[in-house]
């Protein structure tokens, strides 16, 4: 049952019942219209209340119906709102918890609105690259005023109901029981006529032309590559400058235009990709999880400290284990300093500061952490070191404890073999800084138990991370792909580029940071250590030697004040280095490569298509469950531009045939072996399909 109809005294109550947030799917919309008809035909009914069951009034459109014919099937949300607005009996929206998107548009179609305090009110459509499409841009300015409504629509941010108490949005805020208050309000309004309609309110904003132009200029400067915020301004402008019905037409046309944009498709892809990432085909959603009431972290370095902060932020006590008191003290002091900085910026209350700092304690003894429900090692990336740690953990940790490795490249199955309980071992690859970066790669070993995997996925949500499951391979999803990207970046240097030219080209496409700035930030010595291992393990794989020459001269990046770029004391800004550019040019001469002019298009294609091709192999091998999982890794962990939707989605927008044609061209150049297309790409292109 998607909506329940009952009559209490002389009041009809329509309760939306479509968990978890009473999404306005086709069945719910139909049930509201049918219930409205019943109420209209019943002479005993004097007023109608619309509310939502459970934890929401309504969160808006039903995401299960996105991109399906049901989303626009009649009765559409417009039709539902027309039925409500034109009812001959007063309709009251009784709002609680969550009232967003289409849910708020439905409430605005009611004659009256009452709400509990703390209800979250929003029109968040802009976050999906669209705008409110059922009258939200026309009705909200009529109850909140032009300025406040425009801010809410352009930002999509939720506002607590009590902050809107003085506006015409709410007729009453109810402190006690919502339904008792709503019933009393309905009784009071049962015979009041004429029935007020939001559409009939006039917007009075002197000199609105100047305000709207100021808004356009401000939004244009802030919206970046996304068209939706500016279109929101145009839709709201129509509410001020046109008759209501004409404004609705403008809103609808702008909505339909935005739905077709690549940017909106990319945002919707990311929205659904994040939800899909938590679903693993052979791990049912009702798989029981292990309780995680305490956590231990091995290593108090930058990564270990950052990992510990995630759990403290979620209210989970953490013990950090170190081998030496000095290292432990330094790690705890860094954590405290990080929290102090957040406190100074006003992003943390004194109470929260003290609570979080007190949740993190230190120890020098493995025995002290034995009762932790989860232990994560964040020690040096070396299999010998990992072996020592996991053998000790196997010895001391209580039965049922989850043993996790924060490895970024090493074989989790080998790590699990160091224990007598491989089913309890899992990889949890945090990204640096671990207390900031949203991505958590969850690495599933061959023997990892399903309840351990389900626990890690649930925990990723609790600590506000996007958890993406990867199978075991060298580098997992993210680092395995980035290696191909980095290889191409190195080859581009040998063939004619400078680090600055490569970085600028990819940043112009929307990346947060180019490969050489990224190397300087992370530390070029990390890549150097991996390459040294590759030279032994995979001697057939070629790399540019420019990065090795850079490291041999001690230029490890920002931490040494010099990397691909020069840095000044106290200044993180990269300055092009003549020394490095001369070194690159000399290296090209030494290996007999004649340097040439390389276009930005070639730079971006080689970098991104190298990612895409490796991503296709990862899908072929079943390391990633779905293409959108790869996109989520790159959107949340590697600074891939959100409006491009991730590497696999971006390849789909270009067309895989076009991507393969470009790869064929690059295969004729130096290092052509790097461009052998993945079988999956060839088969999808042959069927005119994409990854997603």
Mind telling me the catalytic residues? 105, 125
Q: How far apart are CA 543 and CA 546, in angstroms?
A: 9
Contact (Cβ atoms closer than 8 angstroms) between residue 579 and residue 592: no
Q: How far apart are CA 49 and CA 7, in angstroms?
A: 10
- Residue 194: cis peptide before it, omega within 30 degrees of 0: yes
Q: How far apart are CA 302 and CA 334, in angstroms?
A: 8
Contact (Cβ atoms closer than 8 angstroms) between residue 297 and residue 307: yes
Tell me how crowded residue 591 is: count the other CB atoms within 10 A of its CB: 11
Q: How far apart are CA 419 and CA 680, in angstroms?
A: 36
Residue 117: both structure tokens together: 């305090």
Supply the DSSP symbol for 566: E
Contact (Cβ atoms closer than 8 angstroms) between residue 413 and residue 447: yes
Q: How far apart are CA 493 and CA 543, in angstroms?
A: 11
Residue 72: both structure tokens together: 């626009």
Regarding beta strands 172-174 and 112-116, do their DSSP bridges make them parallel or antiparallel, or are they unpaired?
parallel
Contact (Cβ atoms closer than 8 angstroms) between residue 613 and residue 675: yes
Measured in whole angstroms, the distance separating CA 251 from the mean position of its chain's CA atoms is 27
Region for 374 from its dihedrals, namely left if φ exceeds 0, alpha if ψ lies in -120 to 50, beta otherwise: beta
CA-closest candidate to residue 551, choices 578, 531, 572: 531
Tell me how crowded residue 601 is: count the other CB atoms within 10 A of its CB: 11
Half-sphere exposure of 641 (CA within 13 A, CB side): 18
Q: How far apart are CA 586 and CA 563, in angstroms?
A: 17
Which residue in the block uniquely carries the two structure tokens 């050489």? 516
CA distances from 254 to 198, 246, 281 (A): 22, 13, 38
- Taken in order 432, 436, 439, 444, the sign of the CA dihedral is positive
- Residue 433: cis peptide before it, omega within 30 degrees of 0: yes
Tell me how crowded residue 277 is: count the other CB atoms within 10 A of its CB: 24
- Could you please report the per-residue DSSP string of 123-149? -GGGGGT----SSHHHHHHHHH-HHHH
Q: How far apart are CA 93 and CA 171, in angstroms?
A: 10
Query: Which pairs with CB-CB distance under 8 Å and at least 24 residues apart come from 676-680?
Result: 677/613, 677/616, 678/613, 678/614, 678/616, 678/617, 678/620, 679/620, 680/616, 680/617, 680/619, 680/620
Residue 193 in 3-state DSSP? coil
Contact (Cβ atoms closer than 8 angstroms) between residue 452 and residue 288: no
- Could you please report the per-residue DSSP string of 612-662? HHHHHHHHHTTSSSSHHHHHHHHHHHS---GGGT-HHHHHHHH-HHHHHHH
């Amino acid at each position: 049952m998607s909506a329940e109809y009952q009559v209490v005294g002389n009041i009809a109550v329509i309760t939306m019942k479509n968990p978890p947030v009473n999404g306005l799917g086709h069945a719910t919309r139909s049930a509201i219209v049918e219930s409205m008809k019943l109420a209209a035909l019943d002479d005993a009914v004097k007023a109608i209340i619309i509310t939502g069951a459970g934890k929401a009034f309504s969160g808006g459109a039903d995401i299960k119906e996105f991109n399906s014919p049901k989303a626009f099937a009649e009765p559409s949300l417009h039709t539902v709102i027309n039925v409500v607005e034109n009812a001959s009996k007063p309709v009251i929206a009784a709002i609680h918890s969550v009232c967003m998107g289409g849910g708020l548009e439905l409430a605005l179609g009611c004659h009256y609105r009452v709400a509990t305090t703390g209800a979250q009110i929003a029109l968040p459509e802009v976050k999906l690259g669209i705008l409110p499409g059922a009258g939200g841009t026309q009705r909200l300015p009529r109850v909140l005023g032009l300025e406040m409504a425009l801010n809410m629509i352009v930002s999509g941010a939720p506002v607590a109901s009590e902050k809107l108490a003085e506006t015409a949005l709410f007729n009453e805020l109810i402190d006690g029981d919502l339904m008792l208050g709503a019933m009393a309000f309905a009784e009071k309004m049962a015979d009041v006529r004429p029935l007020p309609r939001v559409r009939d309110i006039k917007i009075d904003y002197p000199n609105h032309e100047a305000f709207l132009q100021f808004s356009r200029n401000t939004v244009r400067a802030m919206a970046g590559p996304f068209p939706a915020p500016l279109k929101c301004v145009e839709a709201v402008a129509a509410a001020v400058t046109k008759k209501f019905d004409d404004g609705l037409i403008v809103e609808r046309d702008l909505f339909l235009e935005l739905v077709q944009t690549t940017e909106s498709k990319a945002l919707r892809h990311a929205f659904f990709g994040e939800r899909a990432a938590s679903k693993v085909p052979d791990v049912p959603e009702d798989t029981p999880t292990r309780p995680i009431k305490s956590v231990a972290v091995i290593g108090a370095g930058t990564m270990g400290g950052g990992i510990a902060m995630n759990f403290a932020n979620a209210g989970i006590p953490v013990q950090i284990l170190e081998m030496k008191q000095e290292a432990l003290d330094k790690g705890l002091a860094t954590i405290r300093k990080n929290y102090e900085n957040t406190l100074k910026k006003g992003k943390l209350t004194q109470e929260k500061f003290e609570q979080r700092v007190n949740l993190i304690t230190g120890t020098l003894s493995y025995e002290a952490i034995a009762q932790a429900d989860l232990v994560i090692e964040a020690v040096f990336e070396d299999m010998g070191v990992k072996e020592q740690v996991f053998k000790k953990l196997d010895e001391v940790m209580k039965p049922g404890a989850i043993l996790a490795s924060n490895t970024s490249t090493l074989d989790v199955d080998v790590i699990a073999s160091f224990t007598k309980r491989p089913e309890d071992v899992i990889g949890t690859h945090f990204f640096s800084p671990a207390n900031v970066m949203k991505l958590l790669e969850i690495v599933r070993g061959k023997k990892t138990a399903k309840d351990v995997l389900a626990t890690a996925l649930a925990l990723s949500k609790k600590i506000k991370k996007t958890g993406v499951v990867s199978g075991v391979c060298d580098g997992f999803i993210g680092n395995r792909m980035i290696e191909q990207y980095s290889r191409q970046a190195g080859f581009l240097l040998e063939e004619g580029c400078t680090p600055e030219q490569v970085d600028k080209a990819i940043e112009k496409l929307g990346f947060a940071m180019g490969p050489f700035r990224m190397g300087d930030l992370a530390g070029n010595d990390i890549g150097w250590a991996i390459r040294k291992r590759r030279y032994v393990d995979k001697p057939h794989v070629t790399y540019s030697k420019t990065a090795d020459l850079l490291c041999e001269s001690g230029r490890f990046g920002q931490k040494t004040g010099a990397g691909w770029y020069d840095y000044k004391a106290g200044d993180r800004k990269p300055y092009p280095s003549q020394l490095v550019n001369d070194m690159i040019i000399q290296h090209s001469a030494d290996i007999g490569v004649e340097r040439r002019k390389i276009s930005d298009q070639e730079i971006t294609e080689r970098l991104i298509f190298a990612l895409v091709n490796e991503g296709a192999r990862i899908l072929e091998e079943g390391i990633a469950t779905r293409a959108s999982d790869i996109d989520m890794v790159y959107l949340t962990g590697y600074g891939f531009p959100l409006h491009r939707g991730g590497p696999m989605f971006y390849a789909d927008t270009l067309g895989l045939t076009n991507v393969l044609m470009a790869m064929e061209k690059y295969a004729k150049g130096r290092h052509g072996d790097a461009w052998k297309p993945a079988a999956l790409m060839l088969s999808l292109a042959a069927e005119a399909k994409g990854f997603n």
